[in-house]
């Protein structure tokens, strides 16, 4: 439209016509280049923010972020979709999916995600939580330490590997020792942030046992720190949640003594 108007106005004045057209093209190019540069800067800022959230292990909630329709599909339906999408990822990376070693990988990964490493997302997999009356009137701290933790960082989907230490004081109920291991494992089997996992373990045990007197310490290595980014293979992350009597410094120190962690004064 604009070119047609200029053509009519400058009919018979070709040199002026081309000069005006070139000038307008110059203005438009500058405008689009400025817009493009702004867009690229915005995308760069977004990428930096995404990286910062991941590298800082930021968590926005104490509950695992799940959609309302998270469990409308069956496990087999999820496996089929993940298998297709993971095959696309491998194809994009340039891998030959006809190779004998690779052709079954998308299916294996999909089954692993749904049935194993992320099985704790589904409430139907929550371990039974029966308790018993404390008939022997045990009133001291009970500690279950060195519980193996295998989880997955929700920011990079790389493993978190470590140990959990759980303790409680009975308010009339006791729980089977293996149940504490299973509760830790349940909350570990999902994309996680270690701080959230520590809180979730304590809250669940408080709910089951009807007492605030529960504590949990987790010491774990994050492969998103150890194998990428800073690549620090020596460091580990320690998180703790103390409830009820464990907020007392002397009680807290007693617990930490059991698991051989010193409390700074």
Asked if 257 and 145 touch (Cβ cutoff 8 Å), the reply is no
Q: Is 153 marked active-site?
A: yes
User: Per the residue annotation, which of 165, 200, 216, 224 is the catalytic one?
Assistant: 224
Q: Is 154 marked active-site?
A: yes
User: Per the residue annotation, which of 83, 144, 154, 216 is the catalytic one?
Assistant: 154
Q: Is 194 marked active-site?
A: yes
User: Per the residue annotation, which of 83, 200, 222, 241 is the catalytic one?
Assistant: 222
Q: Is 216 marked active-site?
A: no
- Residues, the chain, total? 265
> Can you tell me which residue has the tokens 């590997």?
161
User: Per the residue annotation, which of 83, 155, 192, 241 is the catalytic one?
Assistant: 155
- CA 156, CA 129: separation in Å to the nearest integer? 32
User: Given the DSSP bridges, would you call strands 191-192 and 142-153 parallel, antiparallel or unpaired?
Assistant: parallel
User: Per the residue annotation, which of 57, 83, 144, 156 is the catalytic one?
Assistant: 156
CA 188 from centroid of its chain's CA atoms: 11
Q: Is 91 marked active-site?
A: no
User: Per the residue annotation, which of 153, 192, 216, 241 is the catalytic one?
Assistant: 153
**Residue 152: exposure state from Cβ atoms within 10 A (0-12, 13-18, ≥19):** buried
User: Per the residue annotation, which of 83, 192, 194, 200 is the catalytic one?
Assistant: 194
| Residue 151: both structure tokens together | 């989880």
Catalytic (active-site) positions: 153-156, 194, 222, 224
């Amino acid at each position: 439209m604009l070119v047609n108007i200029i053509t009519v106005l400058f009919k018979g004045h070709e040199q002026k016509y081309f000069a005006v057209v070139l000038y307008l093209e110059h203005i438009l190019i500058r405008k689009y280049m400025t817009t493009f540069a702004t867009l690229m800067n915005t995308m760069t800022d977004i990428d930096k923010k995404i990286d910062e959230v991941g590298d800082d292990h930021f968590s926005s909630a104490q509950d695992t972020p799940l959609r309302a329709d998270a469990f409308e599909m069956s496990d087999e339906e999820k496996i089929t979709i993940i298998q297709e999408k993971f095959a696309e990822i491998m194809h994009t990376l340039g891998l030959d999916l006809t190779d004998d070693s690779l052709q079954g990988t998308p299916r294996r990964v999909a089954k692993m995600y749904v049935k194993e490493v992320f099985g704790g997302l589904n409430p139907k997999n929550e371990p039974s939580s029966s308790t018993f009356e404390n008939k022997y009137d045990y009133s001291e701290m009970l500690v279950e330490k060195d519980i193996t933790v295998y989880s997955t960082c929700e920011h990079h989907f790389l493993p978190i590997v470590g140990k959990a230490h759980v303790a409680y004081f009975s308010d009339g109920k006791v729980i089977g020792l293996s149940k504490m291991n299973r509760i830790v494992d349940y909350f570990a089997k999902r994309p996680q942030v270690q701080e959230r996992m520590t809180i979730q373990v304590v809250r669940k045990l408080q709910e089951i046992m009807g007492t605030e007197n529960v504590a949990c310490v987790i010491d774990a290595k994050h492969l998103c720190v150890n194998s990428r980014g800073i690549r620090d293979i020596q460091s580990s992350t320690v998180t703790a949640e103390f409830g009820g009597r464990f907020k007392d410094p002397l009680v807290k120190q007693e617990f930490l003594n059991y698991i051989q962690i010193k409390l700074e004064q």
